[in-house]
Amino acid sequence: MMYPFLTLDDETEIVHSEMRPDGTVKVYMERPDEKDGFHHAACYLPDYRWEDIFGFSKGELSRFQEVIESTAHLILQFSKEGGFEDAASF
């Protein structure tokens, strides 16, 4: 299951998975593109390991890295609680 997390000003949607048994969480970014359909990338917490990158520039990935690093504590918490909407403390 993927949970909505954040929409950036450039229409990039960020969603995250539930926490997996090994303690990792998949954070997935996707943005519509007229030519390619969608640009996308996946980052796995807590190691910030990037995979499946298509269409995003190095600069965009750097910006996404900053966003994820600054909100990783929330993403990890929400991944244990069924996403933002089900988080008991928010």
> What is the pLDDT tens value at each position of the chain, 90 positions in all?
899 999 999 999 999 999 999 999 999 999 999 999 999 999 999 999 999 999 999 999 999 999 999 999 999 999 998 766 655 455
Cα–Cα distance, 87 to 49 (Å, whole number): 25
- The pair of three-digit structure tokens given for residue 47, joined into one six-digit string: 């190691």
In a domain, 85, yes or no: no
In a domain, 87, yes or no: no
In a domain, 90, yes or no: no
Query: Which domain does 71 fall in, by range?
Result: 2-79
Query: In terms of pTM, does the model score above 0.75?
Result: yes
12 neighbors 31 (Cβ within 8 angstroms): yes
Question: What stretch of H or E contains 29?
Answer: strand 25-33
In a domain, 27, yes or no: yes
Cα–Cα distance, 63 to 85 (Å, whole number): 25
Cα–Cα distance, 5 to 80 (Å, whole number): 14
In a domain, 16, yes or no: yes
Domain count, the chain: 1
